[in-house]
Structure 1
Amino acid sequence: MKNGLSYFTPSLPQFSTIRQAILRTSVLLSWERTPGDGRAGAGEGRSGAVAGPGPSADSRVPPAGKAQQRLKERYRLGSLLGRGGFGSVFAATRLSDGAPVAIKRVPQNRVHHWGELPDGTSAPLEIVLQVKVSNGFSGVVQLLEWVELPNDILMVLERPEHSQDLHRFIRARGFLSEEVARQLFRQVLEAVRHCTSCRVLHRDIKPENILIDLATGQAKLIDFGCGTYLQKTAYIHFAGTPSYSPPEWTHFGWYYGEPATIWSLGIVLHQMVCGEHPFRRGQNISWDHQLSLPQWLSPECQDLIRWCLSMPDVERPSLEEVFCHPWMQDIHLP
């Protein structure tokens, strides 16, 4: 096995595109549905375009009432990439230039938080947050455009053609070498720092929400459906995946943004180098819990994982301290 980013060689069998690994669905997104009653003002269909790298979005906003037809004319729907409580994500191709994209469909009745875009337009909070981070930074998947329909919200997102989420990437190998894990983890940290600079808290950092471009080795943070605005005060409502929630939430019902993020990053790093979640499903983590790590991990890697997974949130490192940790040095990014 070669070192470094040779792991990302797309010619290997495990690097086949996600579309080839999933059966094609007959679901044709909401634009094939008969329009029904929706939120006030949504019946005519609203849309917007967001500038960003990769496939550029059309800067023109379609006339009201034509957004639904416009999407049908501009994109060819592909296979189902994923489905969950949030809705569904499909592979698609932009007909104008053949660029691969992803189309995320979220039912209107599952949108509980709304915000305001820079132009004053009301939009689901997920879109508001995506617009904030979709300003050219390559480590976060870019929002290209969005459409509000009577029953659904549709988001057109950047999609690397040959890609795999980190969960599947780890599972295919059992675990990652420290060298490869360090390169990927550094990119995730860069993405988190970018979100922080945009005053956005992701709140659902986990391997399933980290997409890897298999052709380049670049990692991208995806899915801001659980995100919120970054604040200095404590949060008293949780959104995200329970098994990645910090112990202060479980024990006390509150958490601060950065320490909670560091906790989830510690779990992700553990999964990278050990191949499994550090805490068994359903395990109630005691306050004096002692984390056991494989002895074949380097002392520096063990130290960083234990630091990130410190039980008291005040004992966890800051994001910048993680960047400066000895294990994070001498990294050559793709």
Structure 2
Amino acid sequence: PATQHQRSPPPPPLLPARRVPPAGKAQQGLKEQYRLGSLLGRGGFGSVFAATRLSDGAPVAIKRVPRKRVRHWGELPDSTSAPLEIVLLAKVSTGFPGVVQLLEWLELPNDVLMVLEHPERCQDLQHFIRARRFLPEEVARELFRQVLEAVRHCTSCGVLHRDIKPENILVDLATGQAKLIDFGCGTYLQDTAYNHYAGEPTQGVPPEWTHFGWYYGRPATIWSLGVLLHQMVCGKHPFRRGQNISWDHQLSLPQGLSQDLIRQCLSMLDSERPSLEELLCHPWMQDIHLP
């Protein structure tokens, strides 16, 4: 069943990032390797299409980002210059099942293309929740645990995702595996404060950014995880769109045991939020039914 965590089959091998200088050859090579399918999504980042790898029939996704929208570049281990999203994906996309795998990338004169793994039967978490109105706590616990492990993996690789939300979590319906996707708002993890926010303003913006114009990566991530868990078990965002979160704001929390975890994550003081390790050790995460 989709709610059980099973071992996923190994993803297609990670290909070395490469450039194909002549645009015509690159586009021709793409057509020879992949059959383009339906549009999966479109936004400020560009477009994502379903595709099939012709060599073995494997389903993939192809993300197209206009070069003019690539604001930050970095260096891959082989000193190749690449958009920061690709550099970050190369750091975390190393066979870890909870993060989408980068299979290949191409740089064209006007676009950057990323070929990503895409399970044959999958649904983003937003649609997964919407189809059920809300998730039972046991289902939410298993998916949330996988998200925590994916975030911990990214953190250990020195990567801050900065846009954790249901739309950026893919659920493999065949295995129940959750995968963190879309590192377009990501950056390098640092111990000092950030003074620039990336991500959807209405989604997981921590109050310290709204009130003071700065945030620290780790506690800001915990805030977004609290918002995510609330959406999973309640079926809705904990705050109204455009709402200015005040220090005396009263949260509408679920009746289940997850409410304590959500309350801790959504503490107004970033210093009072738990760490990732503390979240993973929380009694609710361990399925310990306290009175």
Q: Do Structure 1 and Structure 2 share a fold, with TM-score over 0.5?
A: yes
Distance in 2 between residues matched to 1:220 and 1:69, nearest whole Å:
31
Q: Distance in 2 between matches of 1:61 and 1:180?
A: 40
Q: CA RMSD in A?
A: 1.7
Aligned partner (choices 147, 157, 170) of residue 188 of structure 1: 147
2:233 corresponding residue in structure 1: 273
C-alpha distance in 2 between matches for 1:59 and 1:256: 33
Taking the aligned partners of 2:15 and 2:2, their CA distance within structure 1 comes to: 36
How many residue pairs match? The answer is 281
Moved more, 322-331 or 132-141: 322-331
In structure 2, give the amino acid aligned to 1:327.
W
- Preserved CA contact (<8 Å) 1:94 1:100: yes
Q: Is the 8 A contact 1:53 1:142 kept in 2?
A: no
TM-superposition CA deviations, 1:228-273 (whole Å, max 9, x none) = 0000000000001112110000000000000000000000000000
Give the letter for the 2:123 counterpart: Q
Give the AA of the match of 1:291: L
TM-score of the two chains, using structure 2 as the length reference: 0.93
Instruction: State whether residues 79 and 90 of structure 1, in contact with CA within 8 Å, keep that contact through their aligned partners in structure 2.
Output: yes
What is the CA–CA distance in structure 1 between the aligned matches of 2:140 and 2:195, rounded to whole Å? 33
107-116 or 64-73, which deviates more:
64-73
Question: What is the Cα deviation at residue 53 of structure 1?
Answer: 4.4
SS at match of 1:78: strand
Structure 1 residue 290, shift from structure 2 partner: 2.1
Paired position in structure 2 for 1:199: 158
Q: Distance in 1 between matches of 2:206 and 2:89?
A: 24
SS in 2 for 1:259: helix
Can you give the 5+ residue segments of structure 1 that lack an aligned partner in the other structure? 9-51
After superposition, give the CA deviation of every residue in 1:51-82 in whole Å (9 maximum; x if it has no partner).
x9412255595754233321111000000000
Partner in structure 1 of residue 48 of structure 2: 89
Residue of structure 1 in register with 2:207 after alignment = 247
Q: 1:134 aligns with which of 93, 101, 104?
A: 93
Which residue number corresponds to residue 286 of structure 1?
246
Q: If you compute each CA radius of gyration, which structure gives the higher value, 1 or 2?
A: 1
Superposition TM-score, scaled by structure 1 size: 0.81
Alignment counterpart, residue 309 of structure 1, candidates 266, 276, 289: 266
Offset from partner CA, 1:185-220 (integer Å, 9 cap, x none): 000000000000100000000000000000000000
Q: In percent, how many aligned pairs have the same letter?
A: 79
1:68 counterpart (1, 4, 27): 27
> Which residue type is aligned with residue 276 of structure 1?
K
- 1:292, distance to aligned residue in structure 2 (A): 2.3
The answer to whether the 8 A contact 1:62-1:70 is kept is: no
